[in-house]
Structure 1
Amino acid sequence: MVMRALLAGIVGGVIGIAAYSISQTGGQPLSVAVGCLIGVAVVLGGELYRRSAQLTEVRLVVLGSEMSFKTKTDMRHAAQRMFFQAATRVATRPLEDGHGNLREALTSLKTLFDLYREPLESEGTPLPPANGNSVYELALHILNFELAPFLTKWHPRLKAFEESDRGQDESEWSENSVFREELRALQERLRPYLIGLGEIAGIPDPASHLRRSARVSPPASATVPDQPSSPATPE
């Protein structure tokens, strides 16, 4: 915004000087020279404006359609909040076979669903921009096409297992492996959305925050040193 205002001031000043000079002299050579200067100023100003616009615009392809986002301050804040809300949950963190709790995973996804939906229903949500897309449209895609279908399918199935086989471990659920497989597929589909949110927020290399952390090998069991033998009891 500051750059654009400065640019407008410079171009306006050049045009003002040119108009004044022409009105004072009326000479043809000066008029031609000033006209050239105005043309150069307009062309350079347009180029600088175009580059400035490119630096504050992010384009994403979502469900086969291109979306364009003007990264204003309020939109960047919203995108940053949504990025970190997902980056710290099972929506992006791996749930290895034989590890983790399926009920907790579903609860985490439901919490993310509620966090994303809340600003969409809030009266304080900014109106959509006149040009381009809103970051909340991206949230709507995530809710309607990714999180909602997964939760609608798996919440009642896991609940039915929990109620019919009380006390049974989740590992014995017949759909355990299918749930985990579909969760991994969901995470892969969410990844481009979240990287896009990171780019809108201006986070450097947002994909690096979504990479699987290297598993830390458990420390080797400490070896208990041999205890010194008790001194012989004198007879």
Structure 2
Amino acid sequence: MRRMLRRGRGGLRSQEVSVRIAIPFVAEIGGVWAPVDAEREAAWELYVELATRVTVVELGEDEGLLREALSSFYTVFGTTREILRRYGPSVAPRVAPGQVTFGLLAVNILNLSIRPLLSRWHPLLAAHEAQRADHTDPVSHERQWSRAEELRNEIANVRKVLLALAQSLNEVAGVGDLITARIPRQTPAADPS
């Protein structure tokens, strides 16, 4: 990855970032990203959105609800559109072939990764949910679904795409890692008395 760094408010910021994001069964999108300040700000906003949602956190086999995961992806879709509208054309300038922008990356991730997941699985899961008996709790009913594992696998694939996007957003925003970095646990101090 080729990059030049400069000091910014959040520390070192990349002036140029090489981006490669593989979208399973579709394509690889990427190129060189030379972000302007509006793109850095938009990158930070979307990075925070991704870092605080189940969209980039691995969903264990017996964890969470698939409905909540799909709802989280749906929210990311809406928030990304809102960020694009708020920053306007400044995050999607015309660029030469082989270069990318925040707008180009965001729209491609929405249309090639998140939209297919939602448009396929939302109606299928809704149809299964509609068959739940009154005495069956939603968690048990969802876990009994014959297609639950298939949906979890597709969620995991989209998660990898969003993690790759988040890494690029993180680099452009010039901030610390909020997704994988953890604060070390402190052991309680011994009582001196």
Structure 1 distance, partners of 2:30, 2:43, is 18
Moved more, 107-116 or 166-175: 166-175
Structure 2 distance, partners of 1:56, 1:212, is 24
Distance 1:97 1:64, change over 3 A: closer
Which runs of 5 or more residues in structure 2 are unaligned? 7-12, 22-26, 186-193
Match of 1:59 in 2: 18
1:91/1:190 contact within 8 Å kept: yes
Match of 1:126 in 2: 89
Match of 2:75 in 1: 111
Who wins on radius of gyration, i.e. which is larger?
Answer: 1
Q: How does 1:158-177 map to 2 (within 5 A)?
A: 158-167=125-134, 168=136, 169-177=141-149
Match of 1:182 in 2: 154
The answer to whether the aligner puts 1:88 opposite 2:52 as a matched pair is: yes
Q: SS state of the match for residue 60, structure 1?
A: strand
2:14/2:174 contact within 8 Å kept: no
Which consecutive segments of 4 or more residues in structure 1 shift more than 4 A? 51-55
The answer to whether the aligner puts 1:194 opposite 2:159 as a matched pair is: no
2:14/2:172 contact within 8 Å kept: no
- Give CA-to-partner distance per residue, 1:102-143, whole Å, 9 cap, x none: 1111111101111112233x2751343354432111111110
More strand by share: 2
1:177 partner amino acid: E
Residue 179 (structure 2) aligned to one of 175, 197, 210: 210
Q: TM-score, length-normalised on structure 1?
A: 0.60
Matched residues, percent identical?
A: 29
Distance 1:130 1:110, change over 3 A: closer
Shift of 1:175: 1.2
Distance 1:97 1:52, change over 3 A: closer
2:45/2:83 contact within 8 Å kept: no
Distance 1:124 1:73, change over 3 A: closer
Match of 1:154 in 2: 121
Number of equivalent positions: 162
Shift of 1:147: 0.4
Shift of 1:198: 0.9
The Cα RMSD (Å) is 2.8
